[in-house]
Amino acid sequence: MKAPILPLLLCSIALADRPAFFSERVPYSAGARECYIAPDGKAENSGTKDAPWDLASALANAHKNAPGDILYVLPGTYTGKFDLKLIGSDKAPVHVIAVGRATVLDSGLTVNPPADYVWLWNLEIASSIPIEKRETKQTGSQPSDLPGKGGLDVYGGSGCKYINLVIHDNVGGGVGFWAGATDSEFHGCIIYNNGWRGPDRGHGHCIYTQNKDGTKTISNCIMSVPFNGSYTMHAYGSKAAYLDNFTVEDNIAFGKGPFLIGGGRPSHNIIVRRNYLHGVGMMLGYGAQNEDVDVRDNIVADGRIELNKWNKVVDEGNLRGMPAAKAILIPSKYDATRAHVAVYNGAGAAKVSLDVSSWLRPGDVFKRFPAMDVFGQPVLSDRCQGRTIDIPMTASFAAFVLVKS
C-alpha cells in the first residue's frame, strides 16, 4: 500500500530570533511560520519568498494561516480590493509586516469579522489623486462625484493592533475605527492630507471612531488634515452612536483639524493624556451630558482645551499655551527602533534640546525624518554623543520621526 501523499507545507519555519524591531511587548512565537507577499504574487503559490502570495488572498486568510504566523509584505505597489480576515490569538497574534515601502495605492483596506488578534505593521495606504482634484460640488459627507475613496476602515476584530502605518492623501478619510472593533489599538501611525473639500467645508478626518464594548486605544500617532472643517481626532456620533472607553495618549496633532471626543450620546470612561497639539483645539464633550473624563499632562498651543458637560472631571498638568522651548520624545511601545518627537519653539530659538537618554545610548546611530516624509531621505543621520541631541528649528512647532539602527 502506498504511503499517503502529505499536503505541501506552505511558507517556512522561522529559525532566526525575533525581528530586531520587536520590543519586549510584542508577543512572538519562535517557531512561527514565515510567509511572503509580493505585488506579483499569486494565490496558488506556496507563500515562500521565491513563490509569494498575492496580498488579497493572504489578507483574506485564503491560506488558513495559524496564530503566530508572520506574513512579510515585500516592497512595491498593491492595487485591488483588500479585506483583512486573518485570525490569531492573544498569546500568538498573526503579524503582517511591510518590509520597506509597501503601498496599498488607490484601493483602501477593510478589516471585517472574523479578524482577531492581527498586528498590521508599517504598511503605506495612499492615493495618487492630487489634493486639488479632491473637490466636490455636493455638500455633506457622502458626495457621489469624488474619484475613489481609499483609507483604512476597521469594522471588526478583537485584540488587533495597527502599528506604524502611514495613511495619507486618500480621497475619503484616513481611518474609520468603528464600534465593531473591540480592545484594539492604533499606535505610531502617521495620518495626514486625507479628505476632500466641499462647498460647505472640508471633509474626511484623520481618525473617525466610535466605541461601545472594550477599550479603544489611540496612541503615539501623528495627525494633520489639509482642510478647515476636517478633524484630526473625531470620536463623534449621533444619539444612536456609543462613544465610551477611549484611551487617547501620546499623540501629536498640528496644522488644522480640531481634536474632538464627544457626540449626541453621553460618553463614559474617557482618558486623554500626554497629547501634544499645535494650532489644533481639544474639545472633550459635545452635545450630551457626559459621565467621566481624565485629562492630564496635555500641551495645547495656539488652541483651547474645552471640557463640555462632564459629571466627573480630572484636569491636571495641562499646559494651555506655547512653551518657549520644549521637545518631547515619545518612544514606540512596540517598535524598539522608533520614536516620535514634538518640538515647541515659542521663543523662536535656532535649536531646541531633546533629551534622548531613555531611548538612545552614546554611540547609537540614528536618523531623523520629517513626520510627513518618512519614506524620503533623512534630514539628519548621526551618532548619539550623550544625553541630548539638538533639533534645529525654523518655526514655532515641528514633528519628527527618529529611527535608530
pLDDT band at 147 (very low <50, low <70, confident <90, very high): confident
| Structure confidence at residue 3 (pLDDT) | 38
Residue 180: CB partners within 8 Å, gap ≥ 6?
Answer: 113, 155, 156, 157
From the candidate CATH numbers 2.60.120, 2.60.40, 3.10.350, 3.40.50, the one assigned to the domain spanning 326-404: 2.60.40
Look up residue 287 and give its DSSP letter. S
Enumerate the domain spans of the chain.
12-137+147-320, 326-404
Residue 8 has pLDDT above 80, yes or no: no
Q: What percent of the chain has pLDDT over 70?
A: 97
What value does the mean pLDDT take over residues 304-330?
97
Residue 15 — pLDDT band, cuts 50, 70, 90?
Answer: low
Mean pLDDT across the chain: 94
pLDDT at 29: 87
pLDDT of 6 reads 32
Which residue pairs from 266-272 have beta carbons closer than 8 angstroms and sit at least 24 positions apart in sequence?
A: 266/290, 266/291, 267/243, 267/291, 267/293, 268/244, 268/292, 269/215, 269/244, 269/245, 270/243, 270/244, 270/246, 270/294, 271/246, 271/247, 272/246, 272/248, 272/296, 272/298
Statement: residue 100 has pLDDT above 90: yes
Cα separation, 379 vs 402, in Å, equals 10
Residue 366: which of 348, 349, 385 has the closest Cα? 385
* Residue 38 pLDDT level (bands cut at 50, 70, 90): very high
14 — pLDDT class (breaks 50, 70, 90): low
What amino acid occupies position 102? A
Multiple choice CATH, 12-137+147-320, 3.30.200.20, 2.160.20.10, 3.40.47.10, 2.40.37.20: 2.160.20.10
Specify the residue for cell string 472631571.
313
The distance from CA 391 to its chain's CA centroid, rounded to whole angstroms, is 24
pLDDT at 66 over 90: yes
Average pLDDT (137-162) is 92
| Tens digit of each residue's pLDDT (9 = 90 or more) over 358-398 | 999 999 999 999 999 999 999 999 999 999 999 999 999 99
192, 222 in Cβ contact below 8 A?
A: yes
> What pLDDT, on the 0 to 100 scale, is given for residue 2?
39
pLDDT of residue 142: 86
Could you give the CA distance from residue 54 to residue 262 in angstroms, rounded to a whole number? 40
The whole-number pLDDT of residue 30 equals 83
Radius of gyration of the chain (CA): 22
Q: Answer whether 12-137+147-320 and 326-404 agree in fold.
A: no
What is the per-residue pLDDT for 1? 36
* Residues 6+ positions from 100 with CB-CB distance below 8 Å: 74, 75
- Give the pLDDT of residue 213: 96
- Mean pLDDT over 76-92 rounds to 96
Share of the chain above pLDDT 90, in %: 90
Task: Give the residues across from 191 on adjacent strands.
Answer: 167, 223
| pLDDT (0 to 100) of residue 16 | 55
| Residue 10: predicted pLDDT | 66
Least confident of 1-10, 162-171, 204-213, 255-264: 1-10
